[in-house]
Amino acid sequence: MIDFTNCEVNRFKYYGGKNGGKICIVYNGIDYMLKFPSVNDGISERSYTNSCISEYAACNILKTLGLNVQETLLGTYKANGVEKIVVACKDFTSNGDAFKQFAELKNSQIETSKNGYGTELSEIIETIENQVIYDVNKLKEFFWDMFIADSLVRKF
């Protein structure tokens, strides 16, 4: 595993989402989002979930199936004297692309009163069908491919 502890940290780049803390590091001249495991209630302070290992494994399994997935590296990072297993996800926004949460796309549709953070399948499909940023059929195909693939590797 790669030790990311001494990598340069870009303190001006932040990442959203759930499931643990995230920082931007520079590894071999490339920006990566370094994801830390989230601490779960009811588990001792030094214990944490294996979400980083699961993400790394799932991405590599899905890549072998020919799906376009994020590039990941598995490693460690030592903070406050504690070494943690982390996953580094290549930052595909470094070339000027933007990554937005799906909730923002849902909230941009003014003809609906549905909550942007709702996860009902009918709301997701409606959002895909009503958005104007990307070809609807291609986006639907990608959504279903990823939905099925994530289900197969239990990446919910």
Q: What is the pLDDT of residues 126-141, one digit of tens each?
A: 889 988 888 999 999 9
pLDDT band, very low/low/confident/very high, at 144 (cuts 50, 70, 90): very high
**Whole-number Å distance between alpha carbons of 109 and 94:** 27
DSSP calls for 27-72: ETTEEEEEEPPPPPTTS-TT----HHHHHHHHHHHHHHTT-----E
Q: What is the pLDDT of residues 27-67, one digit of tens each?
A: 999 999 999 987 665 555 444 457 888 889 888 988 998 88
Helices 136-152 and 51-64, axial angle in degrees (round to 10): 120
